[in-house]
Amino acid sequence: MVPESAFQTYIFYFSETFPLCASAKAPFKSMKIHEYQGKQLFRKAGVPVLEGHVATTADEAAAAYDKLGGSIAVVKAQIHAGGRGKGTIIDNPEQRGVVLVKSADEARAAANGLLGKTLVTIQTGEEGKVVNQVFVEAGCDIARELYLGIVVDREAARPVLMVSTEGGVEIEKVAEETPELIFKEHFDPAVGLEAFQVRKLCKKLGIEGAAAKAAFKFMPAICRFFVDYDCAMAEINPLVITGSGEMIALDAKITFDDNALYRHKDLLEFRDLSEEEPSEVRASDAGLSYVKLEGNIGCLVNGAGLAMSTMDIIKYHGGKPANFLDVGGGANAQQVTEAFRILLSDPNCKGVLVNIFGGIARCTTIASALIEASKTVGFTVPLVVRLEGTEVEEGRKMLAESDVNVINATDITDAAKKIVAAAAG
């Protein structure tokens, strides 16, 4: 799995280490939006951005250039990943994801080279992402390029604003090679970024004069935006200072905490399902907490903590989880059946571990759901089941008397060893 940003707030601890504020040990779900959508929200929040228009055809891109009325513009591929400027189209390595254009014809040609094509960047992985739309944005007089990002630092239990002089480059590389060039300020979400903190950051960034005056408006505004919209991450790379000292967001990479979307129903219209993992969308529609990973052992567990422990112990015994899946405490037969459909639709899945601790969900309920799922879906890979908790003996008996081909496990360690062996065989 490829990190969304150097400043992601979550890690999948068993295979990758994502730097800086990656202190949470559970898959953190968030809704991403495109750059042009983020800039719509920035403008509404008082964060300065340039004029631009989204286009889904080459002719629309040419018309957008004419509408901007300037001598230069930039055509940007719109995908849910960073590193687009250095990204390349799979079938045309000369085609970059961000193109400077000086005429409507050039804008049309750039859009033709991007739309419907697969763009590969440092954050997409080798498979890349298909470009369905481009953003044609006005040019500006760039004097300096900076980096700005905000995430929630879970150890400090506060948002943290991070800035760097190394804007416009791969911030992942900066974080790895020269972390001393990244400056941080934690802020109270109820108060926002305070004036003394802006002064500190301006001094570290070497910002003065008109640019410093702009920073006193820009930095608190983006921090308010982060809190008001319940963001998981807000990243601007580059944040530019113009020749006249203006501070402008030349990029907008924003994700929102899924758990807070009930407060922002208007944001749901920005969701682009074509950019999301289909199995994760399917699971969400079924009320399941699911994240697709790259391993070969499917996991069906009730409770996020137990799910993470299950993934931990699978990795400890030499296996690699294919997913995070929490069916929740109130899982029913329909949800368990759908969970198995999702797990088994992954061609990499060579075995499934069901690890249930019956509390709210009784073991008999889960056993019944497993039996029904086997009739509906049909288990084509080894299935290891560990049941514990309320009505566990009854649940085990139900499975033993059924036609379901189950490998029983006595505890979580036994279950992990058995599924790793079964998946390898």
53-68 pLDDT, tens digit each: 999 999 999 999 999 9
Query: Is 21 part of any domain?
Result: no
**Together in a domain, 359 and 295:** yes
CB 396 within 8 A of CB 408: yes
**Together in a domain, 324 and 407:** yes
Q: HSE (CB half, 13 Å, CA atoms) of 172?
A: 14
Averaged pLDDT score across all residues of the chain: 88
pTM: 0.74
Q: CA torsion sign, 326 to 155 to 261 to 270?
A: negative
Q: Is 251 annotated as a binding residue?
A: yes
pLDDT at 172 over 90: no
Give the range of the structural domain holding residue 93, as residue numbers without chain letter: 51-138
Work out the average pLDDT over 368-387. 89
Q: Is 84 annotated as a binding residue?
A: yes
CATH of the domain at 357: 3.40.50.261
Nearest to 330 by CA among 373, 304, 294, 365: 365
pLDDT at 2 over 60: no
**Together in a domain, 263 and 283:** no
Given 138, 168, 183, which residue is the final one in a domain? 138
Query: Is 119 part of any domain?
Result: yes
Q: Is 318 annotated as a binding residue?
A: no
Query: Is 6 part of any domain?
Result: no
**Together in a domain, 146 and 235:** yes
pLDDT at 346 over 80: yes
Query: Is 384 part of any domain?
Result: yes
| Residue where the block lists tokens 């036609």 | 403
pLDDT at position 359, please?
77
Angle in degrees, 0-180, between the axes of helices 392-400 and 363-376, rounded to the nearest 10? 20
**Together in a domain, 133 and 150:** no
Q: How far is 123 from 244, CA to CA, in rounded Å?
A: 33
Q: CA torsion sign, 44 to 47 to 50 to 55?
A: negative
What phi, psi does 217 have (nearest 5°)? -95, -40
Query: Which tokens belong to 130?
Result: 């298909």
Structural domain count of the chain: 3
| Residue where the block lists tokens 């340039």 | 50
**Together in a domain, 281 and 355:** yes
The identity of residue 382, as a single letter, is: P
pLDDT at 31 over 80: yes
**Together in a domain, 303 and 363:** yes
**Together in a domain, 343 and 236:** no
Query: Is 62 part of any domain?
Result: yes
Least confident of 26-30, 119-123, 165-169, 346-350: 26-30
384: enclosing H helix or E strand: strand 383-389
183-228 pLDDT, tens digit each: 999 999 999 999 999 999 999 999 999 999 999 999 999 999 999 9
**Together in a domain, 263 and 156:** yes
Query: Is 193 part of any domain?
Result: yes
Contacts of 407 (CB under 8 A, 6+ apart): 382, 383, 384, 385, 418, 419, 422
Query: Is 284 part of any domain?
Result: yes
CATH of the domain at 63: 3.30.1490.20
| Residue where the block lists tokens 């009739």 | 375
Query: Is 179 part of any domain?
Result: yes
**Together in a domain, 96 and 170:** no
pLDDT at 181 over 50: yes
pLDDT at 11 over 50: no
pLDDT at position 29, please?
60
**Together in a domain, 119 and 242:** no
pLDDT at 336 over 90: no
Q: CA torsion sign, 419 to 14 to 295 to 281?
A: positive
3-state secondary structure of 344: helix
Q: Is 83 annotated as a binding residue?
A: yes
Cis peptide upstream of residue 238 (ω within 30 degrees of 0): yes
Q: Which residues are catalytic?
A: 147, 235
pLDDT at 18 over 70: no
Given 115, 138, 161, which residue is the final one in a domain? 138
**Together in a domain, 344 and 370:** yes
Q: Is 342 annotated as a binding residue?
A: no
Q: Is 359 annotated as a binding residue?
A: yes
CB 54 within 8 A of CB 78: yes
Given 85, 114, 138, which residue is the final one in a domain? 138
